[in-house]
Structure 1
Amino acid sequence: MTRRHRHARSTLVALVALSLTVTVGATAANAAPKTDRTSPYEAARVDRVPAPDPQWFDCAAAFADGAQCGTVQLPLDYDEPGGATTEVALLKIPATDQAHKIGSLFVNPGGPGGSGVQIAAAASQFLSPALLERFDVVGVDPRGTNYSSNVRCFKDLGAQANALAGLNVPFPVGDAETGPYIASSKAFGVGCSTTGTPLSGSMSTAEVARDMDVLRRTVGDQKLTYLGFSYGTYLGNVYANLFPDRVRAVVIDGVLDPVAWAGTPATASIPQTERLKSGQGASKALTEILARCATAGPDYCVTAGLGDPATIYAEIVASLKEQPLVITDENGEPVFELTYAILTSFLLGDLYAPEGSTYVDLDLSTVYSLLHPATGDVAAARAGLLAKYQALQAPAARSDAFANLGFPYDNSPEAFQSVLCTDGKNPAKAESWVPAAARADADAPGFGPLWTWASAPCARSTWTVRDEDAYWGTYSHRTSAPVLVVGNYWDPATNYQGAVAASSLLPNSRLLSSDSWGHTAYGTSACVTDAVDSYLLTGTPPAKGALCTGDAQPFTEPLGAGARSRTAVPERSLPPVVPPLPGALPRS
Structure 2
Amino acid sequence: MRALVAVATAGMVAVSGAAALGVATSPAARADATGVARPAAAITWGACESAALTGVGAECGFVPVPLDWSKPAGQKIEIAVSRLRATEKRQGVLLINPGGPGGSGLEFPAIYPERVPDGVGRQYDWIGFDPRGVGASKPAVSCDASFFKGPRPAYEPADLTKVTGNEAAWVARTKKYAQACADQNGEILSHLRSMDTVRDMDAIRQALGEQQINYYGISYGTFLGQAYASTFPERVRRMVLDSNVAPDYPGYGDAGRGQIEGFEYTAGEFFAWIAAHAVQFNLGTTAEAVTEAYYARLADLRKSPVGTIGSAEWQDVFLVAGYAESLWPTLADGWALWETGDHSRMEFLYDVLSGVGDDNMFAAFNATLCTDGHWPRNYTKMRNDAIGLAKEFRFGTWGSFWFSGPCAFWPVKSAKPPVVDGSKISVPILLLNATRDAPTPFANALRVRQEFPTSVLISDVGGMTHGVGLNGNACVTAYVTDYLRDGTLPARAAGEGPDAECARKPLPEPSLLFRGQAAGAFFDGFAPEPFNTLLLQIPVAHRR
The TM-score range, normalised by the shorter chain, is 0.7 to 0.9
Residue 335 of structure 1: how far off its partner (Å): 2.4
Residue 465 of structure 1: how far off its partner (Å): 1.7
Q: Which residue of 1 aligns with 2:42?
A: 53
| Alpha-carbon distance in structure 2 between the residues aligned to 1:245 and 1:394 | 41
Q: Which residue of 1 aligns with 2:241?
A: 252
Q: Which residue of 1 aligns with 2:501?
A: 547
Tell me the SS of whatever aligns to 2:244. coil
1:162-209 CA distance string (max 9 Å, x none): 778899457354232211222222233334345433111111111111
Residue 248 of structure 1: how far off its partner (Å): 1.1
Instruction: Decide whether the 8 Å contact of 1:503 with 1:509 is kept in 2.
Output: yes
Q: Assess, with a 3 A threshold, how the Cα gap between structure 1 residues 308 and 398 changes in structure 2: closer, same or farther.
A: closer
1:536 aligned to 468, 476, 484, which one? 484
Q: Which residue of 2 aligns with 1:117?
A: 106
Q: Assess, with a 3 A threshold, how the Cα gap between structure 1 residues 487 and 565 changes in structure 2: closer, same or farther.
A: farther
Instruction: Decide whether the 8 Å contact of 1:59 with 1:69 is kept in 2.
Output: yes
Unaligned runs of 5+ in 2: 1-30, 159-163, 493-498, 539-544
Q: Which residue of 1 aligns with 2:78?
A: 87
Residue 276 of structure 1: how far off its partner (Å): 6.1
| Greater mean deviation of Cα atoms: 176-185 or 233-242 | 176-185
| Greater mean deviation of Cα atoms: 203-212 or 160-169 | 160-169
Instruction: Decide whether the 8 Å contact of 1:209 with 1:238 is kept in 2.
Output: yes
| Alpha-carbon distance in structure 2 between the residues aligned to 1:238 and 1:319 | 43
1:520 aligned to 467, 472, 477, which one? 467
2:364 aligned to 402, 415, 419, which one? 415
| Alpha-carbon distance in structure 2 between the residues aligned to 1:467 and 1:55 | 35
Residue 55 of structure 1: how far off its partner (Å): 1.0
Instruction: Decide whether the 8 Å contact of 2:84 with 2:127 is kept in 1.
Output: yes
Instruction: Decide whether the 8 Å contact of 1:52 with 1:73 is kept in 2.
Output: no
| Greater mean deviation of Cα atoms: 230-239 or 342-351 | 342-351
Tell me the SS of whatever aligns to 1:278. helix
Q: Assess, with a 3 A threshold, how the Cα gap between structure 1 residues 278 and 247 changes in structure 2: closer, same or farther.
A: same
Q: Which residue of 2 aligns with 1:335?
A: 307
| Alpha-carbon distance in structure 2 between the residues aligned to 1:364 and 1:166 | 18
Residue 471 of structure 1: how far off its partner (Å): 3.5
Tell me the SS of whatever aligns to 1:147. coil
Name the TM-score, length of structure 2 as normaliser: 0.79
Residue 500 of structure 1: how far off its partner (Å): 2.1
Tell me the SS of whatever aligns to 2:35. helix
Residue 109 of structure 1: how far off its partner (Å): 1.5
| Alpha-carbon distance in structure 1 between the residues aligned to 2:372 and 2:511 | 48
Q: Which residue of 1 aligns with 2:397?
A: 448
Tell me the SS of whatever aligns to 1:70. strand
Q: Assess, with a 3 A threshold, how the Cα gap between structure 1 residues 392 and 550 changes in structure 2: closer, same or farther.
A: same
What does 1:305-384 correspond to in 2, within 5 Å?
306-318=284-296, 320-321=298-299, 324=302, 335-336=307-308, 338-339=310-311, 341-359=312-330, 361-362=332-333, 370=339, 378=340, 382-383=341-342
Q: Which residue of 1 aligns with 2:267?
A: 286
Q: Which residue of 1 aligns with 2:346?
A: 388
Q: Which residue of 1 aligns with 2:10?
A: none
Instruction: Decide whether the 8 Å contact of 1:241 with 1:474 is kept in 2.
Output: yes
Give the length in aligned residue pairs. 488
Residue 151 of structure 1: how far off its partner (Å): 4.4
* Amino acid paired to 1:83: G
Q: Which residue of 2 aligns with 1:239?
A: 228
Q: Percent identity?
A: 26
Name the structure where helix makes up a greater proportion of residues.
1
| Greater mean deviation of Cα atoms: 428-437 or 210-219 | 428-437
* Amino acid paired to 1:280: E
1:44 has 2:28 as partner: no
What does 1:3-18 correspond to in 2, within 5 Å?
none
| Alpha-carbon distance in structure 1 between the residues aligned to 2:90 and 2:359 | 38
Tell me the SS of whatever aligns to 2:107. helix
* Amino acid paired to 1:120: P
What does 1:216-235 correspond to in 2, within 5 Å?
216-235=205-224
Tell me the SS of whatever aligns to 1:196. helix
| Alpha-carbon distance in structure 1 between the residues aligned to 2:302 and 2:147 | 26
* Amino acid paired to 1:73: P
| Greater mean deviation of Cα atoms: 58-67 or 357-366 | 357-366
1:481 aligned to 422, 427, 441, which one? 427
| Alpha-carbon distance in structure 2 between the residues aligned to 1:111 and 1:238 | 15
Tell me the SS of whatever aligns to 2:430. strand
Q: Assess, with a 3 A threshold, how the Cα gap between structure 1 residues 397 and 312 changes in structure 2: closer, same or farther.
A: closer
Instruction: Decide whether the 8 Å contact of 2:370 with 2:414 is kept in 1.
Output: no
Q: Which has the higher contact order (CA 8 A, sep 6+)?
A: 2
| Alpha-carbon distance in structure 1 between the residues aligned to 2:151 and 2:64 | 34
| Alpha-carbon distance in structure 1 between the residues aligned to 2:537 and 2:466 | 12
Residue 443 of structure 1: how far off its partner (Å): 3.1
Q: Which residue of 2 aligns with 1:9?
A: none
* Amino acid paired to 1:80: K
1:300-322 CA distance string (max 9 Å, x none): x7568x33212431354156336
Instruction: Decide whether the 8 Å contact of 2:456 with 2:489 is kept in 1.
Output: yes
1:215-258 CA distance string (max 9 Å, x none): 21222332221011122111111111222232211111122223
1:465 aligned to 384, 408, 412, which one? 412
| Alpha-carbon distance in structure 2 between the residues aligned to 1:531 and 1:111 | 25
Q: Which has the larger radius of gyration?
A: 1
Unaligned runs of 5+ in 1: 1-40, 155-159, 328-333, 371-377, 400-408, 583-588
Instruction: Decide whether the 8 Å contact of 1:241 with 1:476 is kept in 2.
Output: yes
| Alpha-carbon distance in structure 1 between the residues aligned to 2:361 and 2:67 | 20
